[in-house]
Amino acid sequence: MWLLWLVVGIAFAIAEIINNGFFLIWFAIGAIAALLTSLITTSVPIQLIVFLTISFLLLITLTRYCSAHFAKKDTIPTNIDALIGKTGTVLTFIGTDSSQVGQVKLDGEIWSAISSDGLSIEKGITVIVDEIRGVRLIVHPKSSTLLNTSSHNTQEETL
């Protein structure tokens, strides 16, 4: 009977590898427990009870923990998702509404862009990408650039 439990355990382990959801692995462990039990006793009902008890106890207690613990948490943004949060330079004026589209140079590429906060953004200002809609960047001015520009304008007015 131990050979049957070995085959069942291996089958559940292979199914878990294919499925990869921390569901079937507990039945593989339960089958191994039943295999060990079959070496002690020849009673099939006792082996079946050990298999079911171990499998369901592990399923109930450890599935949620293992799924959360081993789940891939750190995803790496790719393609356009990687552009969100990056800074670029305004090449042409960006107006106050979505009809006044400007251009931003970001990572060596030129993108059309609109302002996310409804403020106009002058040429040369550094902006941060908030989101991407289609092929258009939604940007806002970087605060340090905005402060430098306003202090520069104030100095020019006093001269």
pLDDT for the residue numbered 154: 41
pTM of the predicted model, to two decimals? 0.46
The count of other CB atoms within 10 Å of the CB of residue 88 is 23
Q: For 61-101, write each residue's pLDDT tens digit.
A: 987 887 777 666 666 666 777 888 899 999 999 988 878 89
pLDDT for the residue numbered 73: 63
Q: Between the CA of residue 140 and those of 73, 83, 88, 102, 147, what are the distances in Å?
A: 29, 14, 10, 12, 13
Q: Of 159 and 110, which is predicted with more confidence?
A: 110
Compute the distance between CA of residue 134 and CA of residue 1 in angstroms, rounded to an integer.
Answer: 62
Eight-class DSSP state of 80 = G
